[in-house]
Structure 1
Amino acid sequence: MKLSFLTTVLLAMMILPATLFAQVKTTKLDKNTIPKSIKYEGHIIDAVSFTDKDGEHIVVTTESGLTASKGADSEGYRDAALHAYHYKKTGTELKLTWQTYDFVKDCPVDVTASYLPKSFAVTDLDSNGKAEVWLMYKTVCHGDVSPSDMKIIMHEGDKKYAVRGTNKVQVSPKEYAGGKFIYDEAFKTGPKAFREYAGNLWKNNLMETWK
């Protein structure tokens, strides 16, 4: 039986994940198009502008990369840090309304503080007109095959949500370590759509890839 074009389109829309329709339209920015009034540290990883019911917004995420630790006894030690900045347009000015900062300091072995590729997103999962900004990253100082600390941080307006745990690593042919996570109270009591999105995000980035 031949399906009409309209029926085919409707069926395709039913198959597509609901989160696809909850994505907020963003405009990519770079160091040349970010307004000069916005201050940030590190190398830009993601930078976007978007509009929701609260107005115009800009989010910038950065990483420091590896830097030498400071201090008399820090020779051979390294640091790594990451930042996220959210600015909201108020009148003609851009005001910093929240920021994220996490780091690893004084590490004598392998050190990482980095965002997970393709994890940054701006959504409106609960369809209330207020955007949710999603960040996911890992931090670790280790010289062995062990899990990294991993976090999801989400902001909807002035409310913060967090998931904390570790990624999962294969430590022997049949053994794995890590992989557990905990929703904070905001996620536990918030919309189910937030927990589902966070859970899928964690699942998609669960295994350490050792790149």
Structure 2
Amino acid sequence: MKQLTSLALLLITCVSYGQIKTNQEKFRQLEPTITLGIWDKENSTPNIQINVLSYDDIPKSLDFRGTVVEALTWVDASGRNILIQTVTGHFNWKGYDDNQMEYTLQDKSELYAYLFQKKDLNSDYQKVWRIYDYTECNGLDWFTGFSPKATTITDLNKNGIAEVSIPYVSICRGGMDPGIQKIIFYEGHTKYALRGETMLMCDTEDAYGGTFNASDNLNEKKEFMAFLTKQWDATKCENDKYW
């Protein structure tokens, strides 16, 4: 009996030690940033100097959620700007029934993008806008994130105020349905958008998906619409780039 008790205690100790070592290893691997190559430098304006910020260079006063995947800074006619893009990764989400008493655990992931701005060196950064989106999914394949090498900083109308264009996708599937794609485009506080779906089987005669609807305020912004249409065509194909 004593031998069985000793063996049980030894087994519990080994399991506990293994869990501690696993958690320690996970802790050592934690990083505040992940370099994913989100910024499209080639199609951003050369007339505005855009710099990449390391995590330590981001002002500690800025409030944002998620793991940083891109942080850029530039100066334009509006002042000094900081763009921060983040993702949360996957986590459990409680999907409550209509009675709000019972729930099922589902998978969820989120993304955020923030523009902070200050008018001069003596002022504090203020949040200009925030993008938030998410995927709630019980499917086999799912992803929430920014399109690689697609975020641009431009000055298409040459008024000295930078435009920020951010393509991203929200995908949840158990079959062959296209995912959701959006391009959110800001000039100052004004938001424009293309919303539609990703394209699958792009390099075949059976390609499908890839259509979009534009926000109404793009009707009179021909230079913005032309740029966004080109950007949509460049990013709409999945081609396994999110898996």
Give the match for residue 179 of structure 2: 148
Q: Counterparts of 1:23 and 1:163 in 2: how far apart (Å)?
A: 25
- Find the partner of 1:168 among 180, 199, 217: 199
Give the match for residue 147 of structure 2: 116
CA deviation map 1:51-102 (0-9, x unaligned): 1111111110111111122356333x21011001111114421111110000
One-letter amino acid of the counterpart of residue 202, structure 1: W
Q: Counterparts of 2:187 and 2:196 in 1: how far apart (Å)?
A: 21
**Counterpart contact for 2:69–2:87, Cα < 8 Å:** yes
**Cα distance change of structure 1 residues 23 and 146 upon mapping to structure 2, 3 Å threshold:** farther
**Counterpart contact for 1:146–1:177, Cα < 8 Å:** no
* RMSD between superposed Cα atoms in Å: 2.2
User: Secondary structure, in 3 states, of the residue corresponding to 1:64?
Assistant: strand
Report the TM-score, using the length of structure 2 for normalisation: 0.73
One-letter amino acid of the counterpart of residue 117, structure 2: K
Q: How much does 1:205 deviate?
A: 1.1
Q: Counterparts of 1:21 and 1:110 in 2: how far apart (Å)?
A: 35
Q: Counterparts of 1:174 and 1:21 in 2: how far apart (Å)?
A: 35
One-letter amino acid of the counterpart of residue 194, structure 1: F
Q: How much does 1:22 deviate?
A: 5.5
Give the match for residue 117 of structure 2: 88
Q: How much does 1:110 deviate?
A: 2.3
How many residues of Structure 1 are paired with residues of Structure 2 in the alignment?
Answer: 192
**Counterpart contact for 1:164–1:181, Cα < 8 Å:** yes
Q: How much does 1:108 deviate?
A: 4.3
**Cα distance change of structure 1 residues 193 and 80 upon mapping to structure 2, 3 Å threshold:** same
List aligned pairs for 1:94-105, cutoff 5 A.
94-105=125-136
Q: How much does 1:21 deviate?
A: 5.1
Aligned sequence identity (%): 28
- 2:214 is the alignment partner of 1:183: yes
Q: How much does 1:141 deviate?
A: 1.4
Bigger Rg over Cα: 2
Give the match for residue 230 of structure 2: 200
Q: Counterparts of 1:41 and 1:32 in 2: how far apart (Å)?
A: 16
Where do 5+ consecutive residues of structure 2 fail to align? 1-42, 96-101
Q: Counterparts of 1:178 and 1:150 in 2: how far apart (Å)?
A: 10
CA deviation map 1:102-149 (0-9, x unaligned): 011253432211100011111101101110011000002111122111
Report the TM-score, using the length of structure 1 for normalisation: 0.83
CA deviation map 1:14-52 (0-9, x unaligned): xxxxx6655532111122110000111111111111111
User: Secondary structure, in 3 states, of the residue corresponding to 1:65?
Assistant: strand
Runs of 4+ in 1 over 6 A off after TM superposition: none
One-letter amino acid of the counterpart of residue 85, structure 1: Y
Instruction: Please identify which structure carries the higher strand content.
Output: 1
**Counterpart contact for 1:46–1:120, Cα < 8 Å:** no
